[in-house]
Amino acid sequence: MGEADVAGGAGERRETQTDFIREAIREDLRNGRFDRVHTRFPPEPNAYLHIGHAKAVWIDYGIALEFGGKFNLRFDDTNPVREDQEFVDAIIEDVRWIGADWEDRLLFASDYFDQMYEWACDLIRKGKAYVCDLTADEVSATRGSLTAPGQESPYRDRTPEENLDLFARMRAGEFPDGTRTLRAKIDMASPNFLLRDPVMYRILHSDHHRQGDKWRLYPMYDWAHGLEDSIEGVTHSLCSQEYEIHRPLYDWFLDELGVYHPRQIEFARLNLYYTVMSKRRFIELVNGGHVNGYDDPRLPTLAGLRRRGFTPEAIREFCRRIGVAKTDSMVDVAALEDCVREDLNRTSPRIMAVLDPLKVVLTNYPAGQVEQLDVINNPEDPSAGTRKVPFAGELYIERDDFREDPPPKFFRLSPGREVRLRNGYFIRCEEVVKDADGGIVELRCTYDPATRGGDAPDGRKVKATLHWVAAPTAAPMEARLYDHLFVKPDPDDVEPGQTYLDNLNPESLKVVRGFVEPSAAEAQPGTRYQFERLGYFCIDKESAPGALVFNRTVTLRDAWARIEKAAKGGK
């Protein structure tokens, strides 16, 4: 990811990368502004991380690693109403999973509350902060507009002594929620609304997940954030573009306090087609029953992607490919899917599974015989070796691999036609068995014992090779076939009166029941496979021996791209 190699999984690309952030850091080191590099990833523990956070982590951590610096994982836990230890634990798991190492620097803003309080008192003594009795609505009403300055609070000129007394009583819990705030005294006519006497502290009679009932007032994010970076000695505070307008406020606080001053640099957020990247919308989707929890494999949360079978190596490669920009843009989710296909193609063992089973009986196969075929586990990785796959006279194939009346260019199985069973034999369909309603329930076929694992001795050829599983040894399983959560690239592309929820894809999850070869029957949740001809699948956390559940990670190819191309008249 730069002048030095960035550690990653085996087979990951290592090449020089540059961008405006790295160039700024190099310039800072050349001119002596800093003599080291120290970054941090500062999540708020109020939700699960998503793929956009993975990009931020790999900007922060990747740059620290590249420049031989330090990296902190630091929780901005300043709002006890929305935060929970569950989110802390999930974020730690996610950041560790994608490969970032904070060593011994797992930090929390709440551990700095005493220092922040003393700094607030310093600003009060300097006449730069005051206790305000206006309600939140009154503060908003007096903020002014783009063309008019705000109105100064009637409490703006309280003496430092009065402010210090009130501030101490706020800390002690003497006043109800919402009755008083501590505000910075900056400029009610500033063109930057964030500098119009912003709130620094609000009263919250709420216990904190780490501090318990010690505090009854809590710092606002804008007051705390820059101070945290200063306390930790961060050199480069890298954050998403929406915080650019906040930078003058962070600078004001640090300059007025006269404390160590990091440099803030902003970058564009990650936005993906066919999904949403919003904590609020994740909550709406979960609470509305549109998805099954924050780790639903249809969500772009890291927990959801991990459960679906995405690898950290694929996510890191995706972050590398999309790079670092200053302007927000949309990225096609196909780019992420391409990365996971490439990684899983290299690393995933192949097995055979049938998702829509159609029974095949080989009428000339020895009754009761089960033979073991030697099959390569991964043609991309010779070290993966081989496995034994049982073959028997009763098999399952995909129902879609048979047509009683085949259309033109359909080369798979049909009456009188011969095909190859992968790693097995040539078979020919001799008879179609139907139920009383005319539905096909069984195919009766013959096999050629001279074609095991290869071509026919007489040189005859077949045009199709089918995957299969042996019925006597096949393990029953449930497969969850996931697709895009929304039918439109931009979920907010709606008609008047609609919301993004009207663009939910009703086919985003399809559950089927089929069979898989027995080699996967005892595999643990999280194990990834390529189901030959079908796609990449991962064993779900709800799976158990005898009740296998697989999640489809991604198809073998981008089916949506083909659909869109066909819709535009392509072939």
The pLDDT assigned to 328 comes to 84
Strand partners, 362: 445
In three-state secondary structure terms, 218 is strand
In three-state secondary structure terms, 531 is strand
Active-site residue, from 82, 105, 128, 279: 279
**Residue boundaries of the structural domains of the chain:** 20-270, 348-473
269 catalytically annotated: yes
Q: What is the CATH number of domain 348-473?
A: 2.40.240.10
In three-state secondary structure terms, 159 is coil
Task: Look up the pTM and report it.
Answer: 0.91
Query: How many Cβ atoms are within 10 Å of 507's Cβ, its own excluded?
Result: 11
The answer to whether the CB of 295 falls within 8 A of the CB of 281 is: no
Q: Which helix (H) or strand (E) holds 396?
A: strand 394-398
The answer to whether the CB of 48 falls within 8 A of the CB of 94 is: yes
Token pair, residue 69, equals 């610096």
Handedness of CA 566, 569, 570, 571 (dihedral sign): positive
Whether CATH 3.40.50.620 fits 20-270: yes
Q: Which helix (H) or strand (E) holds 236?
A: strand 236-240
Handedness of CA 107, 109, 114, 118 (dihedral sign): positive
The pLDDT assigned to 18 comes to 86
Determine how β-strand 528-531 pairs with β-strand 129-132: unpaired
First vs last C-alpha separation in the chain:
38
Active-site residue, from 12, 26, 44, 533: 44
The pLDDT assigned to 9 comes to 40
158 catalytically annotated: no
How long a stretch of residues is the chain?
Answer: 571
44 catalytically annotated: yes
DSSP code string of 398-416: EGGGB-SSPPTT--SB-BT
Q: What is the DSSP letter of 150?
A: P
- Which residues, including other chains, have CB under 8 Å from residue 152's CB and lie 6 or more apart? 142, 188, 197
Active-site residue, from 269, 281, 399, 444: 269
The answer to whether the CB of 171 falls within 8 A of the CB of 215 is: yes
Q: What is the DSSP letter of 196?
A: S
Q: Which helix (H) or strand (E) holds 537?
A: strand 535-539
pLDDT in tens, the chain (571 residues): 333 344 444 334 444 568 999 999 999 999 999 999 999 999 999 999 999 999 999 999 999 999 999 999 999 999 999 999 999 999 999 999 999 999 999 999 999 999 999 999 999 999 999 999 999 999 999 999 999 999 999 999 999 999 999 999 999 999 999 999 999 999 999 999 999 999 999 999 999 999 999 999 999 999 999 999 999 999 999 999 999 999 999 999 999 999 999 999 999 999 999 999 999 999 999 999 999 999 999 999 999 999 999 999 999 999 999 999 998 889 999 999 999 999 999 999 999 999 999 999 999 999 999 999 999 999 999 999 999 999 999 999 999 999 999 999 999 999 999 999 999 999 999 999 999 999 999 999 999 999 998 889 999 999 999 999 999 999 999 999 999 999 999 999 999 999 999 999 999 999 999 999 999 999 999 999 999 999 999 999 999 988 999 999 999 986 545 544 544 554 4
The answer to whether the CB of 113 falls within 8 A of the CB of 171 is: no
The pLDDT assigned to 329 comes to 82
The pLDDT assigned to 454 comes to 85
Query: How many Cβ atoms are within 10 Å of 301's Cβ, its own excluded?
Result: 26
In three-state secondary structure terms, 334 is helix
In three-state secondary structure terms, 301 is strand
What gap in Å lies between CA 399 and CA 139, rounded to an integer? Answer: 66
In three-state secondary structure terms, 263 is strand
